[in-house]
């Protein structure tokens, strides 16, 4: 096992982030194609078969294919833990994040199983997405840390430029508002169509009311993101990376808002819903990057990166 952050570590960290984002989109495809119960039980696909059978048709193929991706996530997370094993003392926090990613795969598999066994209960489906969001957040943090240390040498500071109380507070506000927006979005999903199965239960909320509630945190989020970006750009000594994360956050908010309104006023077509899910995972990754660039503990260049 390596005793430093290697190119392989960076590649595997990026692969973990991409895979955790990707499985959200494949899970969305399962839901949008009505394949949520393509495998009607768990952990087997049917009571008699571990895998899908020809009689189950395309829905069985789609659902079982999505299940197999959990194995890929586990393999990638385990590989990252192994590459960081000999760094677990000098890079304790980084190692703990990687270990959390591995544990998260097992937790996600369990929630996915409960989702099937409860016939796609919308609250469980929402919890399934929230768990994925947490894993994407962790994977984005890991990816940023290993890339920074690899590119700039041992002990490169995550907070690689000046911060102020205003920029740090702004990063926290953006994180909180974006998290609230994503969480309410899961309730909107559980209220609307595209449940994953025609007979799946839905929330009894008024669709228009819950959609408007989902939009409420968006407006202060836009303001907070703009103010934070202005403060970061006006901070003497702020880094290019810090400024870049604020622009990235603004970009995904604009994208997500535009797609959200578009899908709402066009009757939630499947393609736009999938693009909105893409916006969700990009939002989570962007808010992790922005928050970490402003709030992570400073590490002196040349010292081990925690």
Question: What pLDDT, on a 0 to 100 scale, did the predictor assign at position 110?
Answer: 96
Q: Copy the structure tokens of residue 167.
A: 């920029």
The whole-number average pLDDT for the span 244-267 is 95
- Residue 219 vs residue 157, higher pLDDT: 219
Q: What is residue 167's predicted lDDT score, i.e. its pLDDT?
A: 94
Overall average pLDDT of the 108-136 stretch: 96
Q: How sure is the predictor about 91, in pLDDT bands with cuts at 50, 70 and 90?
A: confident
Q: Counting beta carbons within 10 angstroms of the beta carbon of residue 297, is it exposed (0 to 12), middle (13 to 18) or buried (19 or more)? A: exposed
- Among 18-32, 48-62, 280-294, where is mean pLDDT lowest? 48-62
258-300 pLDDT, tens digit each = 999 999 999 999 999 999 999 999 999 999 999 999 987 544 4
- Whether the pLDDT of residue 111 is over 50: the answer is yes
Question: What are the strands, taking DSSP E only, across the chain?
Answer: none
Report the candidate in 117, 91, 103, 83 with the shortest Cα–Cα distance to residue 14. 83
Q: What is the pLDDT of residue 158?
A: 60
Above 50 in pLDDT, residue 40? Answer: yes
What's the mean per-residue pLDDT of the chain? 91
Which segments of the chain does DSSP mark as H helices, in order?
7-32, 57-83, 92-117, 122-152, 165-191, 207-215, 218-234, 240-265, 270-295
pTM recorded for the entire structure = 0.93
Q: How confident is the model at residue 88 (pLDDT cuts 50, 70, 90)?
A: confident
**In the chain, % of residues over pLDDT 70:** 94
163-215 confidence digits (pLDDT tens): 899 999 999 999 999 999 999 999 999 999 999 998 899 999 999 999 999 99
Return the pLDDT at 187: 96
Contact assessment for residue 182 and residue 284, using Cβ atoms and an 8 Å cutoff: yes
**Distance in angstroms (rounded) separating the CA atoms of residues 7 and 236:** 32
Residue 153, pLDDT > 70, answer no
- Can you tell me the mean pLDDT for 144-169? 77
Confidence of residue 302 (pLDDT cuts 50, 70, 90): very low
Model confidence at 5: pLDDT above 50: yes
Alpha helices in 49-163 (DSSP H): 57-83, 92-117, 122-152
* pLDDT-derived band at 96, boundaries 50, 70, 90: very high
Residue 30 has pLDDT above 50, yes or no: yes
Note the pLDDT of residue 58.
93
Query: Which of 27, 167, 213 is closest to 108 using CA atoms?
Result: 27
The answer to whether 284 and 130 have CB atoms below 8 angstroms apart is no
Structural domain boundaries in the chain: 7-295
Of 50-59, 143-152, 209-218, where does mean pLDDT reach its minimum? 143-152
């Amino acid at each position: 096992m390596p005793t430093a952050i290697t190119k392989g570590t960076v590649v595997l960290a990026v692969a973990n982030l991409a895979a955790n984002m990707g499985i959200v989109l494949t899970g969305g495809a399962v839901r949008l194609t009505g394949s949520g119960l393509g495998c009607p039980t768990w952990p087997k696909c049917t009571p008699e078969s571990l895998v899908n059978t020809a009689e189950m048709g395309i829905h069985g193929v789609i659902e079982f294919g999505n299940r197999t991706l959990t194995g890929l996530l586990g393999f990638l997370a385990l590989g990252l833990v192994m590459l960081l094993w000999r760094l677990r003392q000098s890079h304790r926090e980084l190692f703990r994040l990687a270990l959390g990613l591995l544990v998260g795969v097992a937790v996600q598999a369990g929630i996915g199983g409960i989702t099937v066994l409860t016939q796609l209960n919308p609250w469980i489906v929402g919890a399934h997405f929230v768990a994925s969001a947490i894993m994407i957040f962790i994977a984005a943090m890991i990816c940023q840390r290993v890339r920074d240390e690899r590119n700039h040498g041992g002990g490169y500071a995550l907070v690689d430029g000046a911060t102020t109380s205003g920029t740090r507070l702004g990063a926290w506000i953006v994180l909180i508002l974006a998290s609230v927006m994503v969480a309410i979005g899961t309730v909107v999903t559980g209220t609307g169509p595209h449940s994953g199965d025609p007979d799946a239960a839905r929330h009894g909320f008024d669709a228009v009311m819950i959609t408007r509630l989902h939009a409420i945190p968006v407006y202060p989020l836009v303001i907070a993101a703009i103010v934070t970006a202005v403060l970061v750009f006006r901070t003497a000594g702020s880094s290019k990376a810090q400024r870049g994360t604020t622009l990235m956050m603004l970009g995904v908010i604009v994208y997500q808002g535009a797609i959200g309104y578009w899908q709402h006023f066009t009757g939630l077509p499947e393609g736009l819903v999938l693009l909105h899910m893409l916006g969700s995972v990009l939002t989570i990754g962007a808010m992790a990057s922005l928050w970490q660039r402003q709030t992570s503990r400073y590490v002196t260049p040349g010292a081990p990166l925690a």
